[in-house]
Amino acid sequence: MNRRVVVVGGRGKTGRRVLERLLARGVDTYAVSRSSEPGFDWLDRSTWPHALHGATAAYVAYQPDLALPRAADDIGAFAHVAAEMGVEHLVLLSGRGEEGAVRSEERLRRAPLDHTILRASWFAQNFSEGAFLGGIIAGDLALPAGDIREPFVSVDDIADAAVEALCDPAHIGRTYEITGPRSLRFADAVAEIAAASGREIRYRAVPAADLLSDLRRSDAPNDVLWLMEDLFSRGRNGRNERVAGDAERILGRKPVDFADYARRAGQEGMWA
């Protein structure tokens, strides 16, 4: 293909996987982040044009999350800068059932370039590479998630979907909901991790106020505090329990089941 793809957030869970897959396909691809050259910083818009120079397509994973109040303005401004720099197609990793994410999507649609939106459910890899890893390693994961179910999705499936969207023009203008094939309570997910790892791990449901207090004591950034409150106080209302079929449509196969993710992560020693 006569194109050059920039991966914004190339060190993140999905970004580094998208980069690897595009390079394996022989696509001219590079990643940008705060530590790359050229550098890219969402908080410094002067870095954006140089980071986008020469790119014709982009995969964008906003940090720390599209739920943040400033995200929509950033995405709208970024999309216009991208178009001015010659980017023709932007694939946005979005959140499922997040009002802030919807505002960002609307701003992207107003920009003068093609787009594809991937609305993902909660990452399975949060248990092995992200926010929940510490609790899993300690054998005691405490979260204010209650009995709400979530169709956890493997980030490998998100990366595969992003690559398909970038490489096949049939996905231009489409919005997909990318979920796993099964909805699980957090307690069920932890139980499957315990079985896969051969360790005793328990899940404890705690009030959201307790989690926020613990985060404040650990000097967590304000963005993290706001995000955790949004996710667990306002966002855990069951609106995302439904399994969507878009992953199978864009991938041409069934998405990875949580049990298979846990089995592989256990074999790789993620929870040793």
Q: State residue 212's pLDDT score.
A: 75
1 pLDDT more than 90: no
Whether 226 is covered by a domain: the verdict is: no
DSSP annotation of 243: P
The tens digit of pLDDT for each residue in 114-168 reads: 999 999 999 999 999 988 898 999 999 998 888 889 999 999 999 999 999 999 9
DSSP states of 134-183 as a string? HHHHHTEEEES-TT-EE--B-HHHHHHHHHHHHH-GGGTT-EEEE--SS-
Cβ proximity of 161 and 131 under 8 Å: no
The structural domain count of the chain equals 1
Evaluate whether residue 117 is within a structural domain.
Answer: yes
Average model confidence (pLDDT) across the chain:
92
Angle at 18 between CA 12 and CA 20, to 5 degrees: 100
Is 213 domain-assigned? no
Task: Tell whether 186 is covered by a domain.
Answer: no
Residue 190 is inside which H or E element, if any? helix 186-197
Read off the pTM. 0.93
Q: Does 59 map to a domain? A: yes
Q: Could you tell me if residue 135 is inside a domain?
A: no
Residue 41 per-residue DSSP state: B
Q: Are 104 and 72 in contact (CB under 8 A)?
A: yes
> What pLDDT sits at residue 234?
55
CA gap 70, 214 in Å, rounded: 25
Residue 268 in any domain: the answer is no
Best CA proximity match to 92, nearest among 119, 53, 70, 71 = 119
Query: Could you tell me if residue 222 is inside a domain?
Result: no
Which pLDDT score, from 0 to 100, does residue 104 have?
97
CA dihedral 78, 82, 88, 93 (to 10 degrees): -30
Contact 79, 47 (CB under 8 A): no
- Please determine, for residue 260, whether its predicted confidence score (pLDDT) is greater than 90: yes
Q: Which of 144, 153, 227 is nearest to 187 (CA)?
A: 144
Q: What is the pLDDT of residue 164?
A: 98
* Predicted local distance difference test score (pLDDT) of residue 91: 98
In the predicted structure, residue 235 carries a pLDDT above the cut 70: no
pLDDT by residue (tens digit) across 69-95?
A: 899 999 999 999 999 999 999 999 999
Share of the chain above pLDDT 90, in %: 78
Residue 203 main-chain phi, psi, to 5 deg: -110, 135
Q: What is the CATH number of the domain that holds 49?
A: 3.40.50.720
Q: Which domain holds residue 83?
A: 4-124+153-180+242-256
d(Cα 221, Cα 241) in Å, to the nearest integer? 29
First to last CA, the chain: 42
- Residues 244, 179: contact at Cβ < 8 Å? yes
Neighbouring residues of 113: CB distance < 8 A, sequence distance ≥ 6: 79, 82, 83, 87, 88, 89, 90
Residues 183-226: pLDDT tens digits? Answer: 999 999 999 999 999 999 999 998 877 777 777 777 767 777 77
What is residue 80's three-state secondary structure?
Answer: helix
